[in-house]
Amino acid sequence: MKALKQRILNDGMALNETVLKVDSFLNHGVDAHLMYNIGTEFKKYFENHGVTKIFTIESSGIAPTVMTAMQMNLPMVTLKKQASKILKGDVYQTTVHSFTKATDYELTLSKKYISEDDHILIIDDFLANGEAALGAIRLVEEAGAKVAGIGIVIEKSFQAGRQLLIDKGYDVYSLARVSKLGEGIIEFIEE
């Protein structure tokens, strides 16, 4: 997606070989127009995948997921990674390791938001090692539902996540595939 790549080049900051800071438009400040266009791209790609619901992991994936859900006219569900006093009992949970934050967290989904008949589109802001996506997939599949696809805003293609998901048979669609990061360096895979 040309506009996203340009925005990453203009406003993103590669802090080192693995960290890309895009908080000015994606996950702290949010560019609503860009998120709308991201939703349009995901809709175009996934509209014939039989999607019944769209899932994301709190909190950075919420903005692009909302726009996609609006455009596809589908329900959206946010998988929780913060402990909740009111979300207990009838839930699916799995442990996910965050390499960025060097910590584990419990990913939680209430059983009332998924059924065996669902075909779930998972959308997330970043794909690196694939841990977050795999955690979401575990919850969907534990419920007996199907993963219809995985939409990624920014993929770090030099890390193992994409290949891991593809090798497991999942359809991964990334809008910006970063091939290289370094202090002051951001390069993309041209497709």
* pLDDT one-digit tens code per residue, 177-187: 999 999 889 99
d(CA 97, CA 41): 29
Helix, strand, coil % in the chain, rounded to nearest 5 = 35, 35, 35
Give the pLDDT score at 86: 65
Q: What is the largest CA-CA distance in the chain?
A: 47
* 3-class state of residue 153 by DSSP: strand
Give the pLDDT score at 77: 98
Give the pLDDT score at 16: 92
Helix axis angle, 32-46 to 2-11, nearest 10°: 140
* pLDDT one-digit tens code per residue, 71-112: 999 999 999 987 666 666 799 999 998 777 778 888 999 999
Q: Which residues of the chain have pLDDT under 70?
A: 83-88
User: Which two three-digit tokens encode residue 131?
Assistant: 């841990």
Give the pLDDT score at 87: 64
Asked if 107 and 96 count as a contact pair (C-beta separation under 8 A), the reply is: yes
Give the pLDDT score at 99: 72
Task: Give CA separation, 148 vs 4, 52, 112, 133, 142, in Å.
Answer: 24, 9, 19, 13, 15
Task: Go through the chain and tell me how many residues it has.
Answer: 191
Looking up tokens 């090798």 gives 167
pTM: 0.95
